[in-house]
């Protein structure tokens, strides 16, 4: 079946611009996660959705970052006033239910470059 998909695969933007990154989870998965992977590092947690609500947004680095999941399926990560330090691969994952021992299924990521 179809896995987690993310669009675009690559995004280049200028410093100060606004960007949106999209995640389509596996159909029926209620839990959705966003992570950020900087060069040479492992993924870092950003935010977790259970259904439509953000159950844990403790990983968002500052108020320039925001994510939504209005219908409990597709999610959009929004970054305002981008900075060069935001350059990274943004990973989305989904899981059938929101329990910590369940496998998280990852998408291929969106590579964001801020120039």
The yes or no reply on residue 70 touching another protein (CB under 8 A) is no
Restricted to residues 19-48, the positions that interact with another protein (CB under 8 A) are 31, 33, 35, 40-45, 48
1/115 Cα distance (integer angstroms): 37
Strands (E) in 51-109, as ranges, are: 53-56, 65-68, 75-79, 88-95, 105-106
To another protein, the closest distance from the beta carbon of 81 in angstroms equals 26
Number of residues that bind another protein (CB under 8 A): 29
Q: Are 76 and 66 in contact (CB under 8 A)?
A: no
Restricted to residues 80-109, the positions that interact with another protein (CB under 8 A) are 91, 93, 98-101, 103-109
Report in angstroms the alpha-carbon separations of 107 from 35, 92, 96. Answer: 11, 6, 15
To another protein, the closest distance from the beta carbon of 25 in angstroms equals 12
The yes or no reply on residue 79 touching another protein (CB under 8 A) is no
To another protein, the closest distance from the beta carbon of 15 in angstroms equals 26
Contacting residues for 28 by C-beta, under 8 A, at least 6 apart: 96
Residues that bind another protein (CB under 8 A): 3-4, 31, 33, 35, 40-45, 48, 50, 55-56, 59, 91, 93, 98-101, 103-109
């Amino acid at each position: 079946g179809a896995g987690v998909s993310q669009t675009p695969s690559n995004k280049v933007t200028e410093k100060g611009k606004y960007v949106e990154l999209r995640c389509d989870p596996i159909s029926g998965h209620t839990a959705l996660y966003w992570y950020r992977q900087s060069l040479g590092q492992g993924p870092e947690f950003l935010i977790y959705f259970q259904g439509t609500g953000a159950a844990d947004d403790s990983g968002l680095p500052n108020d320039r970052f925001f994510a939504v999941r209005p219908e409990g399926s597709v999610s959009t990560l929004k970054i305002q006033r981008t900075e060069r330090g935001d350059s990274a691969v943004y990973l989305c994952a989904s899981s059938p239910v929101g329990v910590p021992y369940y496998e998280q299924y990852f998408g291929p990521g969106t590579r964001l470059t801020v120039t």
